[in-house]
């Protein structure tokens, strides 16, 4: 059974072109880019090309603004710590209630270390309370960190407007754009964003490589010290092949973004529409007007997510659950809770996240298989009645 893989916000398949671009760097081109000889030098040049490819996808002014890291989490941590170093006298940090654990856990740790944290809430559609954000910015604020696109619902935050507010007050703005990069157009030349995190494996590059965009002029102290790699901003021998792969993936994302925004969006919309019309008592979570083209979070009332996932798994359908029962915690995801999704629905939430590799036939499979699964589980649920 070939899987119907609809969990691309968790991770994506590495694209063939990416693997092809990476392969020589394991075999004939295995030089260390820091070496003085040509054998290493040619590798260093290729890393430079990858840097340009990443910069180009982000619409950055210069490739010098790109720092390679190991993943999105590292990029986030490096960005936030850089801000704390830049303004050691400031003790206030701002984030949102729906951030990825990479930021959420980091801020919780900083709170324990004595920083004052303001967590800006969202409404039932996952939209940020901009008034409260504006009121919360003060002279003591070191950094605002808000995700660009939510990993569970796909909701897009108005990063341009957030960045503007921050800039007016001289506060650094970091965005965790791990889910947004490669899916929606970006032009960092003109956008008021100081720091931006991205991760390779969310856009068909391998796991274990990421990047941090650091706008020219933004104060930055390295998080990892040692050698002089990455212009002294991150020590450690480069993950060469993966960096080359990330560059190639960014090039591919640039080429395929139009497809993501038309074909993938249309498939997602059809899946959503069909499920909503065939299954009673279910609804879509998130901001339906400002949302990633590939993400669909649906709550099925009165049943539980893990049970739905395992039954779908019988047919090879892979998605992810919005209740955290699958991850060891017993509570629905903090994102759904922050949005005030009622318990009756939050436990039964499934996230479908598509990629350019999905097909209409796969959507048909889900549209055919899921409604009877929901019905079976509801027939078993003490809270369900048809009436």
Partner 1 sequence: MWDYTDKVREHFLNPKNVGEVENPDGIGEVGSIACGDALKLTFRLGEDKTITEAKFKTFGCASAIASSSALTEMIIGKTLEEAEKISNENIAEFLGGLPKEKIHCSVMGQEALEKAIAYYRGEPEKVLEGEIICHCFNVTDVDIQRAVKEKGLKTLEDVTGYLKAGGGCGNCHEEISNIIKASQGISIMEPKKPAAGLTNLQKIRKIEETLEVEIKPALIRDGGNIELVDVDGNRVLVRLQGACATCPRSRITLKDHVEARLRNLVAHDLVVEEA
What are the start-end ranges of the H helices in 279-351?
305-313, 334-338, 343-346
Q: Which stretch binds partner 1 (CB under 8 A): 28-36, 272-280, 296-304, 361-369?
A: 296-304
End-to-end Cα distance, the chain? 37
Residue pair 39/57 in contact by the 8 Å Cβ criterion = no
Q: Does 204 bind partner 1 (CB under 8 A)?
A: no
The CA-based diameter of the chain, rounded to the nearest angstrom, is 76
Q: Which of 123, 187 has the CB closer to partner 1? A: 123
What is the Cα–Cα distance from 291 to 130, expressed in whole angstroms? 17
Q: Does 302 bind partner 1 (CB under 8 A)?
A: yes
Binding partner 1 (rule: CB under 8 A), the pick from 123, 138, 168, 259 is 123
Residues in CB range of 220: below 8 A, 6 or more apart: 82, 86, 214, 233
Q: Does 310 bind partner 1 (CB under 8 A)?
A: yes
Q: Does 314 bind partner 1 (CB under 8 A)?
A: yes
Q: Does 124 bind partner 1 (CB under 8 A)?
A: yes
Nearest 5 degrees, angle CA 354-CA 66-CA 68? 75
Nearest 5 degrees, angle CA 236-CA 220-CA 58? 85
Binding partner 1 (rule: CB under 8 A), the pick from 41, 45, 101, 111 is 111
Binding residue count for partner 1, defined by CB under 8 A: 37
Binding partner 1 (rule: CB under 8 A), the pick from 49, 52, 63, 129 is 129
Q: Is 325 a catalytic residue?
A: yes
**Contacts within 8 Å (CB) and 24+ apart, 32-38:** 32/237, 33/229, 33/238, 33/240, 34/227, 34/228, 34/229, 34/237
Residue pair 202/14 in contact by the 8 Å Cβ criterion = no
Q: Which stretch binds partner 1 (CB under 8 A): 78-86, 242-250, 311-319, 354-362?
A: 311-319
Within 10 Å of residue 134's Cβ, how many Cβ atoms?
A: 14
Q: Does 10 bind partner 1 (CB under 8 A)?
A: no
Q: Which stretch binds partner 1 (CB under 8 A): 8-16, 195-203, 204-212, 304-312?
A: 304-312
Q: Which of 174, 347 has the CB closer to partner 1? A: 347
What is the Cα–Cα distance from 262 to 242, expressed in whole angstroms? 29
Q: Does 114 bind partner 1 (CB under 8 A)?
A: yes
Residue pair 213/184 in contact by the 8 Å Cβ criterion = no
Q: Which of 154, 332 has the CB closer to partner 1? A: 332
Binding partner 1 (rule: CB under 8 A), the pick from 69, 175, 323, 358 is 323
For 47, phi then psi, to 5°, come to -65, -40
Binding partner 1 (rule: CB under 8 A), the pick from 36, 383, 386, 387 is 383
CB of 154 to partner 1, least distance (A): 22
Binding mask 326-355 for partner 1 (x = CB under 8 A): x-xxxxx-------x-xxx--x--------
List the catalytic residues: 325
Q: Which residues bind partner 1 (CB under 8 A)?
A: 111, 114, 116, 119, 121, 123-124, 129, 132, 302-307, 310-311, 313-314, 323, 325-326, 328-332, 340, 342-344, 347, 379-383
């Amino acid at each position: 059974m070939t899987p119907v893989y609809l969990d691309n916000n968790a991770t994506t398949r590495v694209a063939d072109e990416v693997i092809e671009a990476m392969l020589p760097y394991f075999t004939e081109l295995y030089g260390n880019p820091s070496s003085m000889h040509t054998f290493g030098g040619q590798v260093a040049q290729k890393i430079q090309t990858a840097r340009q490819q990443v910069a180009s996808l982000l619409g950055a002014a210069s490739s010098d603004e790109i720092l390679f890291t190991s993943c999105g989490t590292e990029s986030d941590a490096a960005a936030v710590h850089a801000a704390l170093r830049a303004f050691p006298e400031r003790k206030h940090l701002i984030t949102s209630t729906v951030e990825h654990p990479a930021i959420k856990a980091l801020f919780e740790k900083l709170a324990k270390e004595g920083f004052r944290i303001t967590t800006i809430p969202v409404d039932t559609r996952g939209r940020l309370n901009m008034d409260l954000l504006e009121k919360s910015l003060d002279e003591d604020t070191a950094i605002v960190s808000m995700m660009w696109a939510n990993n569970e619902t796909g909701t897009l935050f108005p990063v341009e407007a957030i960045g503007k507010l921050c800039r007016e007050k001289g506060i650094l703005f970091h965005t965790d754009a791990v889910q947004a990069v490669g899916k929606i157009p970006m032009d960092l030349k003109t956008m008021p964003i100081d720091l931006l995190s991205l991760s390779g494996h969310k856009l068909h590059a391998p796991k274990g490589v990421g990047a941090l965009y650091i706008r020219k002029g933004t104060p930055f102290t390295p998080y990892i010290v040692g050698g002089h790699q990455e212009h002294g901003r991150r020590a450690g021998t480069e993950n060469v092949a993966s960096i080359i792969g990330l560059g190639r993936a960014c090039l591919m994302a640039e080429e395929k973004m139009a497809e993501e925004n038309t074909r993938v969006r249309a498939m997602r919309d059809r899946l959503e529409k069909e499920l909503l019309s065939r299954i009673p008592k279910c609804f879509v979570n998130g901001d339906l007007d400002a949302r990633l083209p590939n993400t669909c979070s649906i709550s099925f009332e009165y049943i539980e997510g893990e049970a739905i996932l395992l039954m779908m798994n019988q047919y090879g359908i892979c998605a992810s659950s919005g209740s955290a029962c699958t991850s060891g915690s017993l509570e629905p995801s903090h994102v759904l809770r922050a949005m005030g999704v009622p318990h009756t629905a939050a436990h039964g939430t499934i996230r479908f996240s598509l990629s350019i590799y999905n097909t209409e036939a796969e959507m048909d499979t889900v549209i055919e298989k899921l409604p009877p699964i929901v019905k079976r589980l509801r027939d078993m649920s003490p809270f369900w009645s048809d009436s």
